[in-house]
Amino acid sequence: MSENTILKGKSRDEIAKAYKSEPWWYDLRGFFILTFAYNSTLSSQIRFLGKNFGPKHLEVACGTGTLLQYILYWRSFKKLPQSNIIGIDYAESMLAGALYRFKNKKYINFIHADAAQLPFPDESFDTINVANSVHCLPDVAAALKDIHRVLRPHGTFAANVLLYPSGRGLLSYFATRINNWGIKKGILVTPYHRSHIRGLYEKSGFTIIEESVSGNCYNVLLTKFVH
Ligand SMILES: C[S@@+](CC[C@H](N)C(=O)[O-])C[C@H]1O[C@@H](n2cnc3c(N)ncnc32)[C@H](O)[C@@H]1O
């Protein structure tokens, strides 16, 4: 795959349809995918993404908000400041789960939107997270461009991206099988090679601050550097 590839295998509507499942099944399935495809743990995701919450935060492709809720529990346990949060997702059923989960929380709102056409003015957010979803976006280049647009100068953007499994052992075999199933079902667009997604971030105007690989997951913290 070249650095310029725009992935349009499935449309956003087909992807939204693939995510039309009961929130409890989505969460259970997510646990297996996290363990066997990402080879990662909930606690490492919470610690990585939980650090990136400024006063005005955007959560792109928030799903049912399960992970977001764990992250907010963790932040409250660590006595970290509360943020005003907007969550967006293209699948209405996922958003319905998130709305129900956070129905009494005034500091968090949800909007039905496409990551590639964010309905916000330029430079609206201090921080943006995309959790477990970069590899689920049909037009990742357009989404990164719009995320860059709505992030304020020197704001930070954190994302974890599913990588092609490395190695040849049983774990890689299972990860590859799960990924192929996810692509067929439409809940995954593609895993990435690190150099490819790194190139797309840089091409969208982001500067890498921190990066690490954990299991089959590439964690990266980026900023919108302005001269
Ligand atoms: C694997 S889920 C991750 C959800 C959540 N962030 C989490 O970590 O549990 C991927 C999410 O991406 C959303 N998604 C896919 N394409 C999208 C798009 N173009 N715009 C907004 N959301 C999208 C799906 O609806 C789904 O909720």
| Count of domains for the chain | 1
pLDDT confidence bin for 1, thresholds 50/70/90: very low
- For ligand 1, the distance from its centroid to the CA atom of residue 227, given in whole angstroms, is 32
Q: Given ligand 1 and candidates 11, 13, 15, which is best to mutate, with the most ligand atoms within 8 Å of its CB?
A: 15
Measuring from each residue's beta carbon to the nearest atom of ligand 1, which residues come in under 6 Å?
Answer: 12, 15-16, 19, 30, 61-63, 66-67, 89-91, 94, 114-116, 131-133, 136-137
pLDDT confidence bin for 171, thresholds 50/70/90: confident
Is 61 inside a domain boundary?
yes
Would you say residue 2 has pLDDT above 60?
A: no
- For ligand 1, the distance from its centroid to the CA atom of residue 56, given in whole angstroms, is 20
Mapping DSSP to helix (H, G, I), strand (E, B) and coil, where does residue 160 land? strand
pLDDT tens readout for residues 84-103: 999 999 999 889 999 999 99
Domain holding 82, by residue range, is 12-223
pLDDT at 7: 47
- Model-level pTM? 0.91
pLDDT confidence bin for 144, thresholds 50/70/90: very high
pLDDT over 70, % of the chain: 94
**Which tokens is 72 given?**
């907010």
Query: Mean pLDDT over residues 209-224, rounded?
Result: 95
In the block, tokens 């943020």 appear at 83
pLDDT confidence bin for 9, thresholds 50/70/90: low
Would you say residue 4 has pLDDT above 80?
A: no
Is 18 inside a domain boundary?
yes
- For ligand 1, the distance from its centroid to the CA atom of residue 62, given in whole angstroms, is 6
Is 6 inside a domain boundary?
no
17: domain CATH number? 3.40.50.150
pLDDT tens readout for residues 29-57: 888 788 878 888 889 999 999 999 999 99
Is 7 inside a domain boundary?
no
Is 66 inside a domain boundary?
yes
pLDDT tens readout for residues 175-187: 999 999 999 989 9
Query: Mean pLDDT over residues 130-158, rounded?
Result: 97
Is 159 inside a domain boundary?
yes
Is 182 inside a domain boundary?
yes
Query: Mean pLDDT over residues 73-78, rounded?
Result: 98
